[in-house]
Amino acid sequence: MKLKKTHRLHSSDQRLYQLSVPVIGLTGGIASGKTTASRLLEKAGFAVINADQLVKDVYALPETQSFISKKYPEVIVNDQISFPDLRKKVFTDKKVKNEVENFIYQRLPEAFKSALSKFNKPEIIVYDVPLLFEKNMQDFFDVTVLIYAPRDIQKIRLMSRDGNTEEMAINIMNQQIDIEEKKEKAQYVVDNTRTEAELQSGLDDFLKQISES
C-alpha cells in the first residue's frame, strides 16, 4: 500500500526520527481497542511498531532495573520490578510518574531503531502510540488515526480486563487526555464500540481513504 501524496509530509526532516517512509500514528484511549487494531494491521502485512513493547524492552535493560532499584526499592520483589506496584506508584504520584517516564522516553529512540531494523524496507510504518497526543507528537506523523470507544466503555473494559476497581480505572483514565478530545485532534477515527469484525471493517475503510488507488 502507498500513501496518497496529499497525506505525506513534505520532507523526512519533519517526520518522526527523520524516517524516509510515511508513518501512521495509531493511538487511542486505554482499553479502547488500539492493541487489537495493531494486531489486525500486522496480520494484514503492515510493519507495526508498538510503543508499549518498546517500553517493555527498555524496562528489560539492566540500567533500567538499576535505576528503579535505587529510586524505588519498595517496588522490587525477588530482585525484579513488580510492575503492579510500580504502576500504582506512577498513577498516584506525579513526581514518580515524571521521573520514570523521563528515564524511559530518553531510551525510546534507540529501541525504535532496533525494532525498525527487523523489517525489510517497508513502504509504510504504523507506530502504535498510546500517548501520541499527550506528548504532542501528532505533527511528526503523516497520518494520525484514533481507535475510539467512549469513556463508559473504556471504564468497563478496564475493570474487566485488569481487575481494577472503578476508582482505579477512573484514575488511570484521567492520566490521559479524554477520548473525546483525542477524537477532535485525530485526522481519522475508527469506531470500536462493538465487535472485532466491525473494527476490521472500520480499519479497511480508513486504509482505503488514505491509500493511492
Q: Where are the beta strands (DSSP E) in 43-183?
A: 47-50, 76-77, 80-81, 125-128, 143-148
On whether residue 154 sits in a domain, the answer given is yes
For residue 204, what are the domain limits? Answer: 5-13+20-54+124-210
CATH code where residue 145 lies: 3.40.50.300
Q: Which helix (H) or strand (E) holds 3?
A: none
pLDDT tens digits, 14-65: 999 999 999 999 999 999 999 999 999 999 999 999 999 999 999 999 999 9
Query: Under 8 Å CB-to-CB from 62, ≥6 apart: which residues?
Result: none
Number of domains the chain contains: 1
pTM equals 0.87
In the prediction, which pLDDT does 173 show? 87
pLDDT tens digits, 67-108: 999 999 999 999 999 998 998 898 889 899 999 999 999 999
In the prediction, which pLDDT does 76 show? 94
On whether residue 202 sits in a domain, the answer given is yes
On whether residue 26 sits in a domain, the answer given is yes
On whether residue 119 sits in a domain, the answer given is no
On whether residue 87 sits in a domain, the answer given is no
Query: Under 8 Å CB-to-CB from 178, ≥6 apart: which residues?
Result: 29, 151
On whether residue 27 sits in a domain, the answer given is yes
On whether residue 190 sits in a domain, the answer given is yes
On whether residue 64 sits in a domain, the answer given is no
CA distance 54 to 105: 10
